Amino acid sequence: MSVTHFHFHDPYQPLDSPIHRLDPRVKLILALGFILTATLLPAGAWLSYALLGAAGWTAASLSGLGIRRVLRRSMLALPFVLAVLPVVFTAPGPSWLTFPLGSWQISVRAEGVIRFLSVLLKSWLSLQIAVIMVGTTAFPDLLAAMRAIGIPRFLVMTFGLMWRYLFVLVDEAIRMLRAREARSVAPEASGRRVGGTLTWRAQVTGQMVGTLFLRTLERGERIYMAMVARGYDGEVRMLFMPSLSRHDLVPLVGGLLFLLGVLLLGWVF
Virtual torsion, Cα 235, 240, 245, 247, nearest 10 deg: -60
pLDDT at 189 over 60: no
The verdict on pTM exceeding 0.85 is no
Average pLDDT over residues 190-202: 65
Mean per-residue pLDDT, 144-153: 86
The band of 195, judged by pLDDT with boundaries at 50, 70 and 90, is: low
Percent of the chain with pLDDT over 70: 88
Give the amino acid at 257: L
Q: Greatest CA separation found in the chain?
A: 69
C-alpha span between 262 and 269 (Å, rounded): 11
Q: Provide the pLDDT confidence category of residue 230 given band limits of 50, 70 and 90.
A: confident
Confidence of residue 191 (pLDDT cuts 50, 70, 90): low
What pLDDT, on the 0 to 100 scale, is given for residue 1? 41
Average pLDDT score over residue span 104-127: 87
Query: Stretch 188-196: mean pLDDT, rounded?
Result: 57
Q: What is the pLDDT of residue 239?
A: 63
63-82: pLDDT as tens digits: 988 888 888 888 887 888 88
Outline where the chain has alpha helix (H): 18-21, 24-40, 46-63, 67-74, 78-81, 87-90, 110-136, 139-148, 153-182, 198-229, 246-268
What average pLDDT does the structure give for the chain?
82
Does 3 have pLDDT greater than 60? no
Answer with the residue of higher pLDDT: 100 or 9.
Answer: 100
189 CB-side CA count, 13 A = 4
The share of the chain scoring above pLDDT 90, in percent, equals 29
Q: What's the pLDDT score for residue 94?
A: 75
Q: What is the pLDDT of residue 133?
A: 92
Q: What is the pLDDT of residue 7?
A: 46
Strand partners, 101: 104
Domain boundaries, the chain: 9-137+242-268, 139-183+202-238
Distances from the Cα of 170 to the Cα of 8, 177, 221, angstroms = 7, 10, 16
